């Protein structure tokens, strides 16, 4: 038996984080948890630390009293704690599964310390794609960045199987979310509870709302650009409501290769964690004969402007994608708090993109500056 892979999980109390722990429960001989982090769910993190006994743990929302029986672990608090444990935890892999662009610094910190990044946190790539990719150049045959997002895991798996043959197009599939069949007028009155009813996936609140606006797919288009060095013209979005085909890649010989499976995030999480092995993870087998059928349609760019905005940002370059992400994070938060309506989310993002002008994204300071500017503009637009 080879040595256990030591893993740090940033965002262990979230949807991806808890599913990663579920996989570890199924394979205690393969993995050892050496660090965990949560933001504000301290009690849940305490339970996890009790069970997995990591060497380090972080609560990013700030300091709280640590129970006596958990003093064996080194505790870190506040925003910087994420990067601290990403770089100093005794681990091989860092699963970055926090939500939002706060993940960017921890990705860079993990890489600076030579750790492999298993990346669920798409906002890091969207905001600082060039920085992340520059930090993730592998000097060996082993990858140092493995995507966890199901679409990108699918594309990654297809490209591995196609052995360096250049692809023509990446076809990102999208469920279409809960409002796929709603009219624009209906979407204008959509409530938070409507937006949180995702048809196929059980995910954290922010990504579920992003799926309803299709900003999730917009972020994934940008994620694909960086991970697979794709031009905007090589990236397509195809609505596939059943979420069985996780994405496809087409080649110049006319072949289109797809990766399929029951929609269960444990499959791509386990793929990344056990790479290059494939391990059981609880995902049920796919039984195509039991499905009523697979269907496909082009996305409606009028009801879902997010996709159009992503193409604009990909073509604009600079920090445009970072601005899109930041404005979206602020707008989603305002929607959750009942300050703006559902269809206002895209309006906020579009207004911020139109008003901000060209910003560069060459350095981390550039990215943080663009992020800050975009957040301020989004807040100003929301509160006028």
Q: Which residues bind Mg ion (CB under 5 A)?
A: 149-151
- 201: exposed, middle or buried (Cβ count in 10 Å: 0-12, 13-18, 19+): middle
Whole-number CA gyration radius for the chain:
20
Q: How near is the Cβ of 217 to Mg ion at its closest, in Å?
A: 8
333 interacts with ligand NDP by CB under 6 A? no
Q: Work out what residue 328 binds among Mg ion, ligand NDP, none; the CB cut-off runs from 5 to 8 Å by kind.
A: none
DSSP letter, residue 100: S
Q: How near is the Cβ of 237 to Mg ion at its closest, in Å?
A: 12
Which residue, 74, 125, 77, is CA-closest to 103? Answer: 125
Phi, psi of 275 (to 5 degrees): -45, 135
39 interacts with ligand NDP by CB under 6 A? yes
3-class state of residue 11 by DSSP? coil
Q: How far is CA 300 from CA 20, 37, 292, 297, 326, in A?
A: 34, 38, 24, 9, 24
Q: Work out what residue 121 binds among Mg ion, ligand NDP, none; the CB cut-off runs from 5 to 8 Å by kind.
A: ligand NDP
Our CB check for Mg ion shows the closer of 220 and 350 to be 220
Partnered with residue 89 across adjacent β-strands are none
Peptide bond into 21 cis (omega under 30): no
- 308: exposed, middle or buried (Cβ count in 10 Å: 0-12, 13-18, 19+): middle
Task: Report yes or no: 147 and 227 within 8 Å, Cβ to Cβ.
Answer: yes
40 interacts with ligand NDP by CB under 6 A? yes
325 interacts with ligand NDP by CB under 6 A? no
261 interacts with ligand NDP by CB under 6 A? no
87 interacts with ligand NDP by CB under 6 A? no
Contact letters for ligand NDP, residues 101-130 (x by CB under 6 A): -x-----------------xxxx-------
Our CB check for ligand NDP shows the closer of 170 and 250 to be 170
Cβ-closest position to Mg ion: 149
Q: How near is the Cβ of 106 to ligand NDP at its closest, in Å?
A: 8
Rule CB under 6 A: which of 41-80 touch ligand NDP?
A: 41, 60
Residue 187 CB partners (closer than 8 Å, separation 6+): 179, 303, 342, 343
State CA 92 to chain mean position distance. Answer: 20
Q: How near is the Cβ of 269 to Mg ion at its closest, in Å?
A: 12
Give the one residue of 6, 7, 8, 17 binding ligand NDP; rule: CB under 6 A. 17
Q: Work out what residue 201 binds among ligand NDP, Mg ion, none; the CB cut-off runs from 5 to 8 Å by kind.
A: ligand NDP
Give the one residue of 7, 24, 82, 319 binding ligand NDP; rule: CB under 6 A. 82
Q: Work out what residue 97 binds among Mg ion, ligand NDP, none; the CB cut-off runs from 5 to 8 Å by kind.
A: ligand NDP
Q: What is the DSSP track for 38-72?
A: ESS-HHHHHHHHHHH--SEEEETT---PPPGGGTT
Which residue, 254, 255, 284, 250, is CA-closest to 267? Answer: 284
Q: Work out what residue 241 binds among Mg ion, ligand NDP, none; the CB cut-off runs from 5 to 8 Å by kind.
A: none
Rule CB under 6 A: which of 186-245 touch ligand NDP?
A: 201, 203-207
Give the one residue of 24, 33, 126, 149 binding ligand NDP; rule: CB under 6 A. 149
Q: How near is the Cβ of 216 to Mg ion at its closest, in Å?
A: 6
Phi, psi of 357 (to 5 degrees): 75, 180
Task: Report yes or no: 42 and 62 within 8 Å, Cβ to Cβ.
Answer: no
Q: How near is the Cβ of 166 to ligand NDP at its closest, in Å?
A: 27
Find the length of the chain: 384
Q: How near is the Cβ of 88 to Mg ion at its closest, in Å?
A: 30
Only segment of 33-41, 256-264, 287-295, 299-307 that touches ligand NDP (CB under 6 A): 33-41
Could you list the residues that contact ligand NDP (CB under 6 A)? 11-17, 38-41, 60, 82, 97-100, 102, 120-123, 149, 201, 203-207, 265
């Amino acid at each position: 038996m080879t040595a256990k892979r030591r893993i740090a999980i940033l965002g262990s109390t979230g949807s991806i984080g808890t599913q990663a722990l579920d996989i570890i429960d199924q394979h205690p001989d393969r993995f050892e948890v050496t660090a965990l982090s949560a933001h504000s769910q301290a009690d849940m993190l305490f339970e996890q630390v009790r069970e997995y006994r990591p060497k380090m743990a972080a609560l990013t929302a700030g300091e709280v009293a640590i129970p006596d029986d958990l003093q064996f672990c080194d505790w870190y608090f506040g925003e910087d704690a994420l990067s601290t444990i990403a770089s100093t935890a005794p681990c091989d892999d860092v699963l970055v599964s926090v939500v939002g662009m706060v993940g960017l610094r921890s990705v860079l910190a993990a890489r600076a310390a030579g750790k492999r990044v298993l990346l669920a946190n798409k906002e890091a790539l969207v905001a600082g794609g060039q920085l992340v990719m520059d930090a993730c150049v592998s000097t060996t045959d082993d990858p140092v960045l493995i995507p966890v997002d199901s679409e990108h895991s699918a594309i990654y798996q297809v490209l591995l199987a196609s052995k360096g043959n250049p692809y023509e197009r990446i076809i990102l599939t999208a469920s279409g979310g809960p409002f796929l069949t709603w009219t624009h007028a209906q979407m204008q009155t959509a409530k938070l509870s409507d937006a949180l009813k995702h048809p196929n996936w059980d995910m954290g609140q922010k990504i579920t709302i992003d799926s309803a606006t299709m900003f999730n797919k917009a972020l994934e288009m940008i994620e694909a650009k960086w991970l697979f060095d794709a031009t905007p013209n090589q990236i397509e979005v195809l609505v596939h409501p059943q979420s069985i085909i996780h994405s496809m890649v087409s080649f110049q010989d006319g072949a289109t290769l797809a990766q399929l499976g029951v929609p269960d995030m444990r499959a791509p999480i386990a793929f990344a964690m056990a790479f290059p092995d494939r391990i059981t993870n609880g995902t049920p087998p796919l039984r195509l004969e039991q499905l009523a059928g697979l269907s496909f349609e082009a996305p409606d760019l009028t009801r879902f402007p997010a996709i159009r905005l992503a193409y604009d940002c990909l073509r604009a370059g600079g920090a445009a994608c970072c601005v899109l992400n930041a404005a979206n994070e602020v707008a989603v938060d305002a929607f959750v708090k009942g300050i703006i309506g559902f269809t206002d989310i895209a309006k906020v993002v579009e207004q911020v993109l139109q008003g901000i002008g060209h910003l560069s994204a060459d350095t981390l300071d550039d990215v943080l500056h663009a992020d800050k500017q975009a957040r301020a503009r989004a807040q100003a637009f929301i509160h006028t």
